Amino acid sequence: MTRQQAKRPIKTIAVIGGGTAGWMSAAAISKSFGKNIQVQLVESEEIGLIGVGEATVPHISAFNRLINIDEAEFVRQTQGTFKLGIQFNDWGKIGDSYVHGFGTIGRDLGLMPFHQYWLKARAAGKAKDIAHYSLNTVAAPLGKFMAPPRDAPANSPLAEIAYAYHFDAVLYARFLRKHAEALGVQRTEGKVIAVNQNGETGFVESVTLESGAQISADLFIDCTGFRALLIEDTLQAGFEDWTHWLPCDRALAVPCEKVEAPTPYTRSTARSAGWQWRIPLQHRTGNGYVYSSQFISDSDATDMLLGSLDGRALADPKPIRFRTGKRRKLWDKNVVAIGLAGGFIEPLESTAIFLIQAGISRFMSLFPHTDFEPVLQNTYNAQMQFEYERIRDFIILHYHATERDDSEFWNYVRTMSIPSSLQGYMDLFAADGQFFREGTELFGLTSWVQVMLGQGIRPRSYHPAVDWVKDEDMLSLVSHVEKVVSSNVALMPRHEDFIARHCAAVSV
């Protein structure tokens, strides 16, 4: 047996950047490792934050629990609202609408997931649209919301309502900062003007601020957003570009006045050269147009966005440029890139904050000593590559599985070649409605099935085991689920009433 070596532990971490990525990283590491490791964060108010990133997926509640965030306080402080899913309008074809809801569809029977029985019942004309069989997709368009009540019976769909949040990105970063500072994170204001490497190893030893101050650490987390100051400017980790599959490369973001009670869902409306988001908050509505500069000019995109707001614009549209893809290495030497510094996939399914969270938790699991054993970063990089690629495929699905042929943009995405991994998922579903989740990928059966059906993929058949259940039992399952879902949604309060009762922001 080999003798164990005593290795030198990491004692100091410098997080460079104070956006959502920086403050989430600093808070999580300080909460988990703070007794033994000193965490400091450098940010520049002059440079500021990207200031978008207002819709999430349910996993964020695990992060909130990790750092002991009280939900009501968090929603109140960030002008937050609740999200049961995303409504997709005009995606499969103009006039179509479906909701990708969180949670589950129906109830499984035997080995088969519910949608398999539904496929047979639907083909026989004896089932409604799939949206009728999931609590989230029925409740969302009706404007109903509640968090699972503590006294809900375990077998009630109310006990497992899956939800995420919408919030004001700037208020969220401020909220996280307060929380992280209370956990012991030391903040330094200042602009980094130089990154200093060891002449032999290339490891980063310190950063120099405009003031002349130097910040040294054993480990650096690059959260400098699209600037990627350490991971790319300094270490040149390289970038894997996915623009040929996801051609949107610009966005315009604009808040507008709130004209109605906030919907408990994000809306995504397909447009001629991309799509428009609508995110309801307590004090305003966030809007944006994500588009491809190959297919529409900035001024036409601005006109389209401003012409389709449902309230008065509260600012000029903020232009943002991006490139879809990721760093070839998200962890290189003693630098880990989290957030936009690491990569970006457009916000169609609100996945960027999830990727921040996934990066932080994987990194904490694979946390190194100061010898930075290469196997740790290789494992991290491979796992994050998988995570990014599976999300990438899910986003490409929305564009590629469409009948739209009304613009050059849609003709391009409908006919382009797609990754073989995505083609495999689509072929499997198109055959017998099957789906297999690969490893720990973010989106599971409910998501893929809802989006594949919503985008117009109709399986040719269903799993043979469905025929082993008597038709009357299968039909009784389908109609029972529909009744249970609608009777439970009837018990749910309106979203705005739930907010007013539990977490109304101070100045709405």
Interface residue list for ligand FAD (CB under 6 A): 17-22, 42-44, 47-50, 52-56, 169, 191-192, 223-225, 227, 229, 251, 253, 288, 320, 322, 339-341, 347, 350, 352-353
Cα distance from N-terminal residue to C-terminal residue, the chain: 65
φ and ψ of 433, to 5 deg: 70, 25
Least distance between ligand FAD and beta carbon 30 (Å)? 17
Burial of 278 (C-beta count, 10 Å sphere; 0-12/13-18/19+): buried
Q: If you write DSSP's letter for every residue of 375-423 in order, what string do you get? A: HHHHHHHHHHHHHHHHHHHHHHHHHHS----SSHHHHHHHHS---HHHH
Give me the residues paired with residue 163 across strands.
Answer: none
Least distance in angstroms from the C-beta of 64 to ligand FAD: 14
| Nearest distance in Å: CB 342, ligand FAD | 8
330 vs 341, beta carbon nearer ligand FAD: 341
User: Which residues contact residue 479 at a Cβ distance below 8 angstroms, ignoring those fewer than 6 apart?
Assistant: none
One-letter amino acid of 232: E
CA distances from 212 to 198, 202, 209 (A): 19, 22, 5
Fill in the amino acid letter for 161.
I
Closer to ligand FAD by Cβ: residue 44 or 293 = 44
Contact criterion met (CB below 8 Å) for 360 and 29: yes
Q: Select 104 or 357, whichever has its Cβ closest to ligand FAD.
A: 357
Active site residue 470: no
| Residue pair 177/290 in contact by the 8 Å Cβ criterion | no
In the sheet that holds 343-344, the strands lie side by side as 239-241, 325-327, 343-344
Instruction: Measure the CA angle with vertex 197, ends 194 and 198; round to 5°.
Output: 150
Q: Which is nearer to ligand FAD, 50 or 466 (CB)?
A: 50
- Spot the catalytic one: 7, 11, 83, 126: 83
Q: How far is the CB of 433 from ligand FAD (least distance, A)?
A: 30
Of 116 and 276, nearer to ligand FAD (C-beta) is 276
Tokens encoding 100? 């990708």
Residue closer to ligand FAD, measured from CB, 92 or 343: 343
Question: Toward ligand FAD, which CB reaches closer, 49 or 489?
Answer: 49
- Greatest alpha-carbon span in the chain: 78
498: which 2 tokens? 């739930």
CB of 125 to ligand FAD, least distance (A): 39
Q: Give CA angle at 438 (266, 154), nearest 5°.
A: 60
What does the DSSP 8-state code read for residue 94?
A: T
Please tell me the distance from the alpha carbon of residue 189 to that of residue 204, in angstroms, as a whole number. Answer: 20
The distance of closest approach from Cβ of residue 173 to ligand FAD in the complex, given in angstroms and rounded to an integer, is 7
Positions of E strands within 210-265:
214-216, 219-222, 239-241, 250-256
Nearest distance in Å: CB 483, ligand FAD = 35
In the bound complex, what is the minimum distance in angstroms from residue 153's beta carbon to ligand FAD?
33
In this complex, which beta carbon is closest to ligand FAD, that of residue 59 or of residue 258? 59
Between the alpha carbon of residue 230 and those of residues 301, 416, 475, 502, the distances in Å are 33, 34, 59, 42
Catalytic residues: 83
